[in-house]
Each structure stands twice: as structure tokens, then as C-alpha cells.
Chains A and B, each alone.
Chain A
């Protein structure tokens, strides 16, 4: 099963890089449950999606808002019907031209060679700040920003 999972995750990564929507659709189970842990107020395509059509609509939202400029896999792991990856993502926000870089952790589960479950994480405090073009630390009360053993971050 592990080798079939490895082939499936390799194919999904390649299809995503190529923007091959049809191939991605073919790899998604009709009953897929997909969740990108990120604020939908900043990233409308995030949150929970159930079913292939809802997930593909969400992915179209990604492509609508961002141009994928880089998607490099830093780590890929496969175990039985599951795969996990860390990817270095670089996108260009179409409305502003801002370049946003992030590390994305992804957890996949496959059934009969098709993706049935997905969970994605990134450091959303950082990525939301990049998307908004603001330093979100400015929204954090100062008394919470001081730790007894770490210097206050230098914001230049």
C-alpha cells in the first residue's frame, strides 16, 4: 500500500505544480474531506471543504487570487495509506503583486489511490501579515511581547 500511496502523492504534487486541474480532479475522491487551517477572512479558499466539487472550487480560488511561483517539496513521508509533506511555497498575490513565502505542512490519506482526506497548516500569523502587507505584531499588546529569556524582536 505504501508504494501505491507514494505514487499517488507524487502524482498530486506534480499535477499541482503543473496546474493540471483535470489530473488533480481525477486523484480526488468524490467524498474527500479537505481542511486548510487558515483564516477565511484573509484566505477565502481556506477552511473545511467536503466533496470533490467543493475542493476543486476552493483550488480555483487559490489560482484566482495567487500565481504559484514556486512549490518545492522539502520533505515527503509515506506510511501505509497516509502521506505527509513539508513544502516551501512561493506565490504572487494577483491583486497587489506581493510575493508571499511560506512553509506548508500537509497530511494526506488515500483510499483506492484517491485522496480522501487532507489537512494543511502554515504559520498563518506570518502568511496573513504578508498577504495584508502589514506587521501583525503591531496588533499584539506589548506586555505580552516580552519574554524573560528572549530579546524583543528587532523590527528594524
Chain B
């Protein structure tokens, strides 16, 4: 007997929850190979922040481009703390509200960041990502001063 729509949705949600846990484990564990395996080759990725300050931000299409962005991130920063304060899963989509700290390697400044993350999974891999942060606050932390506008 075929699954009913509500059962299908529930099954998708369970699969998405597992995929999200795997993704977060790979990220917090710093396991780049495992992290790469969590992304679809054709992932549509967008982190809403100025690329003029954060070269890894903006729109990225495809796993290779996303991971080139991650490499730039890891060249300039070391993630020293990351935890998920809230997590939601609904069908193919998952979302996290996360809190983290990064060490800016060039200045040894600690950057405190909160992010809102939205992931759509396809066959257990991230096919779409949208990331949000208070980008002006992060820019000011990175520059080490408030913008005087």
C-alpha cells in the first residue's frame, strides 16, 4: 500500500533531521571530507553579507564553488565555538539559529556571530542554502571599529 501524503511528509522530515544532524556533525567536527559529502554537486548557496568584506559570502553555484568559499573562510578565520540554539525540520527543509565565535587569524580578534540558516535537502544532501546574519555588526567586528556614517 503506497504511503499517504502525511506519511510521506513525516518520512521526509525524519530523513531531513538525520541529514541535518550529519551536516552539523561534520561542520562542528571540522571534517571537510564528510562536510563535502553532505552537499549536492549542484547546490544553490547564498550567504547574505557583503562580499567586499567576506569573500566567501554572496551567491555560489555548485559544490566546488561553495567549498572554494569555505577555503577562503578557513584561511582567514578559525572557528572556535559553534552551537545550535534552535533547530527546525519541516519536510525537505531544515533551519538552525546558531551562535558562534571565530578567531580572525590576521588580527587575533574574536568575532562573535549569530546566524540564521535554511537548508533544503535532496537525497540527503544540501541542495539549497540561505544564510543570514547581522552583517553590519560583523563587518564592524572584522574592521575593529564602528562605521562612522
CB distance from A97 to the nearest CB of B (A): 20
Given A86-B130, A153-B52: A148 and B90 within 8 A (CB)? no
| Chain B residue at minimal CB-CB distance from A37 | B134
Looking across the interface, which residue of chain A has its beta carbon closest to that of B17?
A: A79
B49 within 8 A of A: yes
Within 8 Å CB of B90, what residues of A?
Answer: 77-79
A125: B residues at CB distance < 8 A? 49-50, 53, 135-136, 139
For residue B32, which residues in chain A have a CB less than 8 angstroms away from its CB? none
Asked if B105 is an interface residue, CB under 8 A from chain A, the answer is: no
Is the beta-carbon distance between B93 and A77 smaller than 8 angstroms? yes
Which residues of chain A have C-beta atoms less than 8 A from B53's C-beta? 125, 140, 144-145
> B8 contacts the other chain (Cβ, under 8 Å)?
no
Q: Which of chain A's residues have a CB closer than 8 A to the CB of B50?
A: 125-126, 136-137, 140
B55 and A149 within 8 A (CB) = yes
Within 8 A of A (CB), among B62-106: 68, 72, 86-90, 93-95, 97
B114 at the interface (CB under 8 A from A): yes
Contact partner, B51, options A38, A77, A84, A147, Cβ 8 Å = A147
**Please, how many angstroms separate the alpha-carbon atoms of A10 and B131 in the complex?**
23
Is B88 touching A121 in the complex (CB atoms < 8 A)? no
Question: How many positions in chain B have a CB within 8 Å of any CB in the partner chain?
Answer: 36
Indicate whether A103 reaches chain B with its CB closer than 8 angstroms: yes
User: With a CB–CB cut-off of 8 A, which chain B residues contact A123?
Assistant: 48-49, 132-133, 135
Chain B: minimal CB distance from A43 (Å): 10
> How far, in whole Å, are A139 and B143 apart by their CA atoms in the complex?
10
User: Which 9 pairs show the lowest CB-CB distances between chains A and B?
Assistant: A147-B55, A37-B134, A123-B48, A121-B132, A79-B88, A105-B116, A77-B90, A124-B136, A105-B132
Taking beta carbons and an 8 Å cutoff, which residues of B are in contact with A?
13, 48-53, 55, 68, 72, 86-90, 93-95, 97, 114-116, 118, 130, 132-137, 139, 142-143, 147-149
Interface residues of A (CB under 8 A from B): 37-39, 42, 75, 77-80, 82-84, 86, 103, 105, 107, 109, 119, 121-126, 128, 132, 134, 136-137, 139-141, 144-145, 147-150, 152-153
A-B contact list, 17 entries, CB within 8 Å: A38-B136, A77-B90, A77-B93, A77-B118, A78-B88, A82-B88, A103-B130, A105-B116, A105-B118, A107-B97, A121-B115, A125-B53, A126-B48, A134-B149, A147-B55, A148-B55, A149-B55
